[in-house]
Each structure stands twice: as C-alpha cells, then as structure tokens.
Amino acid sequence: MKLSAFSVVDDYEDPSRSRRLEEVVRLAEAAEEGGLSALWVAEHHFHGGGVCPSPAILLAACGARTRRLRLGSLVSILPFHNPIETAEQFAMLDRMLGGRLNLGVGSGYVPMEFDGFGVDPAVKRERFDAHFETILAAFRGAEVRAEGPHAVPVRLNVRPIQQPHPPIWIAAQRREAIPFVARRGVSVALIPYATLAGIDELREEIQEYRENLPRGVTGEVAVGLHLYAGDRVGRAREALQRYLDSRRATQSAFYLEKVRADAKHASESAIEEAGWALFGTAGDVARRLEAFADAGVDEVLGLFDFGGLPVEEVASSVMRLGRAWSSSS
C-alpha cells in the first residue's frame, strides 16, 4: 500500500492573502524527503475551506521543487470548466512534470461553488460525463469540438507524456456511484470520514468496486485519512475539530448529510473513534495503517496539513510517518 499526502488547502485566517499555497509546496518537499508516493491537492473556490482554485498551477510549483514525487489533482471539478482548456492545462502540466501527473476528477459538492460558476447542480453529472469524454479524446490526440455554433474541430498541440492519458481517479462519495466509476476502468478515490461509519463498510465498498471493474482491468483504491505523527496529539485533535467545523460552514454536502443523520459526527472524537483519523507516534500510526492495507486500500491519502497546524510541524509529521511506513512495509 502506498502512502501519499493530500491537501485540501484549507485556510482559517485571511484567504485572500494566504501563505497556504507556499505551505503546500513545503509539504511537497517533505513528502519527497519522507519517501511518500505522491502529493494531491483539491480544487475549491470562493471560501476558506479550500484556497486552491487551480490545482494545475499549484502542482507546477510543487513540481519545480521535487524530482520523484508524483503530483495529482483531487479533484479537478469538471463541470465548472471548458473541457478542452482543462485537457490543455493538464497535458502541459504532465509535460512539465516529466510524466509525473496523477489526474483526479469529480463533479463537485459545495453549493456556493455551483452558485459562483452559475452551474445548476441538477446537470452536474451530465456535464461531468460529457467533459470527461472530451478530455480523454483530446489526450489521445483525437479531434474535439467546443460547445457553440461557431466551434470547429481542433487537436491539442501539447499532449501528455503519459499515453493514452495520465492515470485517472474519479472521486466517489455516494456508494451507488462506485459501480459506475469501476465500469469506466479507472481508479477510485474515497473520503470515508464524510460518509462511512467504519472500516467494515469501507471494505464492502472496495469489494464492490473490484467486482465491477471490466475484465482484465486493475484499478486502484485511494482513501483519504487525517494523519498526525508526533507528540502534540492534543493540538492535532483541536486542528481536526477546526477542519470539521469548516466543512460544515462551507456546506460540504456529503459531510453535512452524515452530521444531520447523527450529530456526533460533527465531533473530532467520533472521526478518530471510527478510524478515519490516526494520531500518535509514527510507529503507532504506521501499525494502524496496516488495517487499511488488509481492507484492500492501494493508496492512503494522508491529510496532514489540516486545521491550521504549523507548516514545519506538518512537515515533521510527514517525514516521520513516511520513514516509519517505509521501514514497516
């Protein structure tokens, strides 16, 4: 099982003047030094729960400071953007990274973001499907056409190094979406704290994903967990509570649904008790990660930089756990 870092790029002070973007570059350096597999970043807009509106730009900056680490979006929100432009940006990024791009895509889940872009959530899945197919075709070098009566067929003049396209993950939060992701023959990314009760339920979702993959296709399951390896566990718990509060404040749809069903899920203690947050010494966290390997997880997406934890403390946590995991694997 691979260990990676995943940043939502949340900010709690003044997002318009944030240093969080520079902190993510530092996180990438720590991830490479600690032997992690990849760094992933989320796309968000218009709120402090995520201050990276363009994963491609941030990942390019991370790529300039790393040499081995794979770099990925999780996710690029396809309904918000012109698909030809999205394909161009990520094709160019894969070139700049020397073929190190992981591409995670999704349909979005924060209401204010749909409002800001003027996109009706009722059509998000239709837009996702159409944009996804256009992007794959563009990566392959096929002719693609923009929407509108005056559009003409075009081909990308920059294509990704990785062919026919970079490795692709689709984020799935509702269980009923998992078979549809699997049948596309791509990998799946899951964020269980927002929807699942415990690891047994996660194991069932992974099995369902595997059962629905096309014959001969081997997809990967990536799972997001809050991780902290260090001696200030109390501070990590406080930071996790700030993070959860921010998810509710930004109307994060799937997490809000879980909290409405049972208010205890608004508490960091419930998330930790369920096993979605692992805090402690590096050795202890590494041992507890084994349960996810046993459940069939291929890659843990470690949320290390949540809730305003100091950047150097985050970097130390990443490097400690990366080395402990390498030693135990």
**pLDDT of 256 above 70:** no
Distance CA 8, CA 312 (A): 17
Confidence bin at 262 (pLDDT 50/70/90): low
- The average pLDDT across 262-280 equals 86
pLDDT on residue 138 = 98
pLDDT in tens, 40-78: 999 999 988 899 999 999 999 999 999 999 999 999 999
Contact 238, 265 (CB under 8 A): no
pLDDT on residue 267 = 83
pLDDT on residue 254 = 60
Domains identified in the chain, total number: 1
Q: Rounded to the nearest 10 degrees, what angle do helices 124-140 and 83-96 cross at?
A: 50
Own/partner contacts of 170-175, CB < 8 Å, gap of 24 or more, are 170/75, 170/104, 170/105, 170/106, 171/74, 171/75, 171/104, 171/105, 171/106, 173/109, 173/254, 174/254, 175/205, 175/208
pTM above 0.85, yes or no: yes
Please report where in the chains the tokens 């999704």 appear, as a residue: 106
Amino acid at 26: R
**pLDDT of 148 above 60:** yes
Domain region containing 255 = 2-328
Residues in the chain: 329
Confidence bin at 130 (pLDDT 50/70/90): very high
* Domain at 176, CATH number: 3.20.20.30
**pLDDT of 255 above 70:** no
pLDDT on residue 195 = 85
Task: Tell me the β-bridge partners of 76.
Answer: 105
Contact 19, 50 (CB under 8 A): no
In this structure, of 23-27, 47-51, 83-87, 90-94, the range with the lowest mean pLDDT score is: 47-51
* Share of residues in the chain with pLDDT > 90 (%): 85
- The average pLDDT across 287-310 equals 97
Distance CA 196, CA 108 (A): 19
In this structure, of 168-177, 218-227, 263-272, 320-329, the range with the lowest mean pLDDT score is: 263-272
